[in-house]
Structure 1
Amino acid sequence: MNHPAANDPAANDLAAPADRLRATLGHLLDGLPPRQAAGAVERLIANYRGATPTDAPILRDRADVVAYAAYRMPATFEAVRSALAEFADTLPEGWAPDSHVDVGGGTGAATWAVTDTWAGVRPVTVLDWAEPALALGREIAAPCPHSAACPIVPGTDWCHFSARVSRSSLHRQVKGGSLPYEDEKFSYVAATRLPAAPAPSRVVRRPQIRKGQVLLDLCEPDEHLRRTTVTKRHGDLYRAARDVDWGDPWPPG
């Protein structure tokens, strides 16, 4: 797959990847009747949640591909972009990938997220329907503050984060929603052979802001989950806690 580009590169060179993605999706859906797009989305949802054989293609034709892109790409882009931003914060300053391979990349949402994180043109390969064959790397860089087993007890919860996705009118139409946004839940692990600086701790739940205090649920480097209460007595740390988001490192750098 080529590096993502809008339909009019000269007019869009200065546009952010998120804006170019929305414009490109809008162009792709031009001429596709809304009823056909909605029907394709409903069929895709049923296939993903049903018992479709793994060797059966889910995206059958261009209408399926376009509907899938409109339905999933904005949320996937925001989730991957959020994960890559945390990963980039752990790496040496100025580092950027020379190329990247996206295994199981579908319509390439992660490629747009890479471009948003590290500007520049680079070779890109997007593989789909391929055996997973990438080595994980030796050190976890994000989101975990350690490289040990996850302290969350299986079956009680799962380590995940949330990215807010702005819905265009087209996106709302395809998804059948009315709100101008949605929250995409996602989980990720970023590993590298480069020298990494994992977060001292990671906020793993939405912070609870109360009068005079903020409750933070943290994954900590000693492989435990702990709740920390930050109060006004903590001064600058309290002000930082009021601004911290779910998924951010703690304390801020």
Structure 2
Amino acid sequence: MSRTPEHAAALRSALARTASGADAGELARATEALVARYRSVAPASAPILASRVRVAAYASYRMPATHAALARVLDAVAARGLAPRSLLDLGGGTGAAAWAAAGVFASLESITVLDQVEDALALGRVLVADAPSPALAGATFRRAFAGAWPDLEADLVTVSYVLSELDERQQDTLVSDAMRRGRTVVVAEPGTPDGYARVLRVRAALLAAGWTLLGPCPHEADCPLAPGDWCHFAARLERSAEHRRLKGAELSYEDEKFSWVAAASPGVVAPRQEGATSGRILRHPLKRKGFVEFQACRPDGTAGREVISKKAGERYRRARDAEWGDTLP
């Protein structure tokens, strides 16, 4: 059973403790600067988390959403039967992916987070001090630079919300580094057209290397979505009082939009068998009296409308519970 809710609550508590010791005005100004930077799609010319206050602002403003997105992604990876014992997070900053992985995979025994910003790593160490799982509480946060990562290997390598800060050559190098070090690689990016374009480049590299896609695609053909459309999903998360204040928000929740791809190196999982894979739900389902309508990506490489009526019995009952991003019943 996923321990994500327990880890999400523990992360919120840890973030609240760290935010309580920071100057509110400095946090607000740093958050505004981060919002402006993350809305830009240009590669970063310098580290974005360039000061302790920016690191604290990032943790309060972005870390809960990143954690929520990665938890949904890794839940889907776990559904393919994977139970990694080791995690390596490249460019992991304050450790959002580490928290997500520890909540999803009870099998984890070791976690290593690599990043170039020591202040981010230092905060990551503070946040996991009272983490609810031994692997997370004992996680290693180590300073390292892209292109010069230490010679480490892991069952699972994550690269989350990092590629947007790099040019295409750097992106390709980072993905190659992840593939050399991991038996399974997960890449997540913001759920925007440019974020999905980066995910498609990663997908192409994974397939070219002979890796097996784990998700979200139910096929290994070209993306069937029409030009102007893009594959993305959403994770709903609760906002703490501090989170709402920093964002100037009134709602007690938000929906984090993300795009992702995951794949396993040859031999880690069995290749897809024809007829054994369901489709992926691409939009919020329309639930009407007597039927549920979906937009779905199908195993045959097409995408479009799927309707499951009450006559389908058990399949219809499962369809009533299905959500955007789930596999199609």
Give the TM interval when normalised to the shorter protein: 0.7 to 0.9
- Counterpart check, 1:82 vs 2:72: yes
- Counterpart check, 1:21 vs 2:11: yes
Deviation of 1:21 (Å)? 0.6
Higher deviation after alignment, 25-34 or 107-116: 25-34
Q: Which of 193, 211, 218 pairs up with 1:145?
A: 218
User: For residue 269 of structure 2, what is the aligned residue in structure 1?
Assistant: 195
Distance 2:259 2:277 in 1: 16
Distance 1:222 1:142 in 2: 15
Deviation of 1:22 (Å)? 0.6
User: For residue 292 of structure 2, what is the aligned residue in structure 1?
Assistant: 214
Change (3 A) 1:235 1:50: closer
Distance 1:37 1:172 in 2: 13
Deviation of 1:60 (Å)? 2.0
Deviation of 1:176 (Å)? 1.2
Q: Which of 169, 178, 191 pairs up with 2:241?
A: 169
Deviation of 1:53 (Å)? 6.2
Q: Which of 122, 126, 130 pairs up with 2:109?
A: 122
Deviation of 1:138 (Å)? 0.5
For structure 2, which runs of at least 5 residues remain unmatched after alignment? 116-144, 148-173, 180-205
Three-state SS of the structure 2 residue aligned to 1:45 is helix
Q: Which has the higher contact order (CA 8 A, sep 6+)?
A: 1
Write the mapping of 1:52-131 to structure 2, written as runs, cut at 5 A: 54-91=44-81, 95-119=82-106, 122-128=109-115, 129-131=145-147
User: Is contact 2:293-2:308 (8 Å) kept?
Assistant: yes
TM-score (norm 1): 0.85
Change (3 A) 1:174 1:142: same
For structure 1, which runs of at least 5 residues remain unmatched after alignment? 1-14
Q: What's the Cα RMSD here?
A: 2.0
Three-state SS of the structure 1 residue aligned to 2:260 is coil
- Counterpart check, 1:38 vs 2:55: no
Three-state SS of the structure 2 residue aligned to 1:22 is helix
Deviation of 1:98 (Å)? 1.9
Change (3 A) 1:175 1:243: same
User: For residue 12 of structure 1, what is the aligned residue in structure 2?
Assistant: none
Q: Which of 233, 242, 245 pairs up with 2:320?
A: 242
User: For residue 158 of structure 1, what is the aligned residue in structure 2?
Assistant: 230
TM-score (norm 2): 0.67
Deviation of 1:153 (Å)? 2.8
Deviation of 1:124 (Å)? 2.0
User: Is contact 1:219-1:225 (8 Å) kept?
Assistant: yes
Distance 1:207 1:45 in 2: 31
- Counterpart check, 1:185 vs 2:257: yes
Change (3 A) 1:39 1:99: same
> Which one has a larger percent helix, Structure 1 or Structure 2?
2
User: Is contact 2:216-2:262 (8 Å) kept?
Assistant: yes
Change (3 A) 1:225 1:169: same
- For residue 67 of structure 1, what is the amino acid of its counterpart? A
Distance 1:107 1:74 in 2: 11
Runs of 4+ in 1 over 6 A off after TM superposition: none
User: Is contact 1:29-1:66 (8 Å) kept?
Assistant: yes
Deviation of 1:173 (Å)? 1.1
Deviation of 1:97 (Å)? 1.3
Change (3 A) 1:106 1:97: same
User: Is contact 1:232-1:238 (8 Å) kept?
Assistant: yes
Deviation string, structure 1 residues 172-194 (Cα, Å, up to 9, x no partner): 11111110000001111110132
State the aligned residue count. Answer: 233
Deviation of 1:48 (Å)? 2.8
Deviation of 1:50 (Å)? 4.3
Distance 1:157 1:51 in 2: 18
- For residue 143 of structure 1, what is the amino acid of its counterpart? P
